[in-house]
Amino acid sequence: MKKLPEACRPEAASPPELHTRSLLGLHAASVTVECHIGSGLPHTTIVGLPDGAVREARDRVRSAIINSGFNYPDGAVVINLAPGSLTKSSAALDLPIALAVLSADRQIPGTSLKHFEFLGELGLFGELRKVSGSLTCALASQSADRVLIVPAANRDEAQIAPVGAMLLADSLLAVTSYLTQTQKQQVTNSTLPAGMSAPASIQNLVTPLTRQNQTPQLHQIVGQEAAKRALTIAAAGGHHLLMVGPPGTGKTMLARSFANLLPLLTDTQALECAAVYSAAGLPRQNYRLAPFRDPHHSASAPALMGGGNPPQPGEVALSHHGVLFLDELPHFKPSALDLLREPIETGSAVITRARYKVTYPCRFQLIAAMNPCPAGRICREDNCRCTPTQVQRYQSRISGPLLDRIDIQVQVPALEQELLTRLDNKQPSDTTKTLQACVAKARHTQQMRQGCINALLSGEQLDTEIARAQLDDKFLQQAIQRFDLSARSYHKIWRIARSIADLAESQDIRLSDITEALSYRGLDWENNLR
């Protein structure tokens, strides 16, 4: 019988394979790391990584292995990251590459590797550094029935992950001693060596989640009752809102306090938000709070929408389930603002590049603010020095289609000095706590009735509401004519009215709800809002 070549012999053991993940958007793709050590001049080749990253990973891994007390193999080391077609971010692959080298060189046992996935950037002395996207990767590892080992610096994300999905390690040495130990014992029952820990899950803790106190509360803002009412309605139904008013009338304060009105995130929402922040490598103070993002008006389109290589989530994704606040709206680049239309409509931001397409979720609430005229600070309401052309050019920086998508538009006028002193806390408006409770109740009613917030009501669902309300047709016809409503605006009026009715705990939409809703679409843009 002809002798088989070496590779085909049945006893030739396949080299141990290591599992890791690479993040593309919010998708954690499975990546395997293989290592082969052959005879030849000492040299390390990594295939499957972009050119520049190869040298960096190679040097870090080599130093980390030697400084952790192991030997770096002398022969020709070939490391393969599969699948080759996938774009990989390199740094997080340091740990799996180092382990593949050590296992191929039989310095650590290869048998227990199949129960784990690894993620971590190595320092030159074997210490593990924080990586982004560990939460998303952990969820994917768990569904593949493996435990993800990540740097201890990723503790925040590990605490939100399901129990048992992640293990934390502070160095390469801690991981290797754990792997050596688990080979001898049952994986599940093994105790953790020094430098390794299991994250304490905060998911099931019953401690009350306190809101941050540094954010302004709505009831601390004097006056502006109309704006507060509009914000409460926006919070109740998830509607987008624009505030127009001169500088110094508290628009920014109002917007910041708006986030306080929103209910705490549900488990699913909190996990979705955490995944986006994890992918961006950003920390979150309290993962139950609705996110609040306020990008500067100089923000570029990629900063708003997401982009880069590897792709990073932008502001629209970072405000998922929360608030995207755009102050000084007309100062944003019109091209960047126009890009917002799609995420507002679809609830997702799509980034397309030659080699990949990434989708980030972005169901945010847009809160925008602007001055009525370009000179803002110098002009008084009754004494504007800007020419009509200047004002028109300024206001036209916001496109009609974008404006049409902002459900509620409200004026925030300058307060007269007399009003400021008269109010002086003698007539306190509703406290934030009361409003929070009203908003939470209204949102609960919506979930029970239709399974979504009012802002997302479909045309069919609205038709049912409209039929049930049995309002005077003549009045509605007049309103459509007088306000020159598009079909989109007409539906928006009903959605806002539904939220007003929910706040009043009314089962059907009443005429007064419609008239109030109409008042939030009635800004006089033709006469330049002055």
> Do 15 and 135 meet the contact criterion of CB atoms below 8 Å apart?
no
Which position among 104, 379, 438, 517 is part of the footprint of Zn ion (CB under 5 A)? 379
d(CA 368, CA 48): 45
Provide, rounded to whole angstroms, the least separation between the CB of residue 375 and Zn ion.
4
Nearer CB in complex with Zn ion: 396/507:
396
> Do 177 and 185 meet the contact criterion of CB atoms below 8 Å apart?
no
Establish if 370 lies at the interface with Zn ion (CB under 5 A).
no
> Do 261 and 438 meet the contact criterion of CB atoms below 8 Å apart?
no
Nearer CB in complex with Zn ion: 235/243:
243
Provide, rounded to whole angstroms, the least separation between the CB of residue 373 and Zn ion.
3
d(CA 160, CA 450): 29
Exposure of 275 by Cβ count < 10 A (0-12 exposed, 13-18 middle, 19+ buried)? buried
> Do 39 and 6 meet the contact criterion of CB atoms below 8 Å apart?
no
Nearer CB in complex with Zn ion: 211/530:
530
Establish if 384 lies at the interface with Zn ion (CB under 5 A).
yes
**Six token digits for residue 269:** 């929402």
Nearer CB in complex with Zn ion: 231/384:
384
**Six token digits for residue 486:** 């598009």
Helices (H) then strands (E): counts for the chain: 20, 19
Binding marks (x or -) toward Zn ion, 95..134, rule CB under 5 A? Answer: ----------------------------------------
Provide, rounded to whole angstroms, the least separation between the CB of residue 385 and Zn ion.
6
> Do 79 and 98 meet the contact criterion of CB atoms below 8 Å apart?
no
Establish if 244 lies at the interface with Zn ion (CB under 5 A).
no
Which position among 375, 403, 415, 529 is part of the footprint of Zn ion (CB under 5 A)? 375
Binding marks (x or -) toward Zn ion, 7..36, rule CB under 5 A? Answer: ------------------------------
d(CA 444, CA 316): 25
Nearer CB in complex with Zn ion: 215/390:
390
Q: Which stretch binds Zn ion (CB under 5 A): 70-78, 195-203, 377-385, 436-444?
A: 377-385
Provide, rounded to whole angstroms, the least separation between the CB of residue 25 and Zn ion.
44
Provide, rounded to whole angstroms, the least separation between the CB of residue 383 and Zn ion.
8
Provide, rounded to whole angstroms, the least separation between the CB of residue 330 and Zn ion.
13
Q: Which stretch binds Zn ion (CB under 5 A): 286-294, 361-369, 386-394, 493-501?
A: 386-394
Provide, rounded to whole angstroms, the least separation between the CB of residue 397 and Zn ion.
15
Nearer CB in complex with Zn ion: 288/331:
331
Nearer CB in complex with Zn ion: 150/373:
373
Establish if 373 lies at the interface with Zn ion (CB under 5 A).
yes
**Six token digits for residue 331:** 């100062």
Establish if 271 lies at the interface with Zn ion (CB under 5 A).
no
d(CA 424, CA 426): 5
Provide, rounded to whole angstroms, the least separation between the CB of residue 396 and Zn ion.
15
List of residues 6+ apart from 424 with CB closer than 8 A: 222
Which position among 173, 339, 386, 455 is part of the footprint of Zn ion (CB under 5 A)? 386
Inter-CA distances, 55 with 58, 59, 61, 424, 478, Å: 5, 6, 10, 66, 71
Provide, rounded to whole angstroms, the least separation between the CB of residue 503 and Zn ion.
35
> Do 363 and 321 meet the contact criterion of CB atoms below 8 Å apart?
yes
Residue whose token pair is 């624009």: 242
Residue whose token pair is 């008006």: 297
d(CA 11, CA 332): 66
Q: Which stretch binds Zn ion (CB under 5 A): 118-126, 131-139, 378-386, 424-432?
A: 378-386
Q: Are strands 292-293 and 323-326 parallel, antiparallel or unpaired?
A: parallel
Nearer CB in complex with Zn ion: 385/444:
385
List of residues 6+ apart from 156 with CB closer than 8 A: 283, 284
Count of positions on this chain that bind Zn ion (CB under 5 A) = 5
Binding site for Zn ion (CB under 5 A): 373, 375, 379, 384, 386
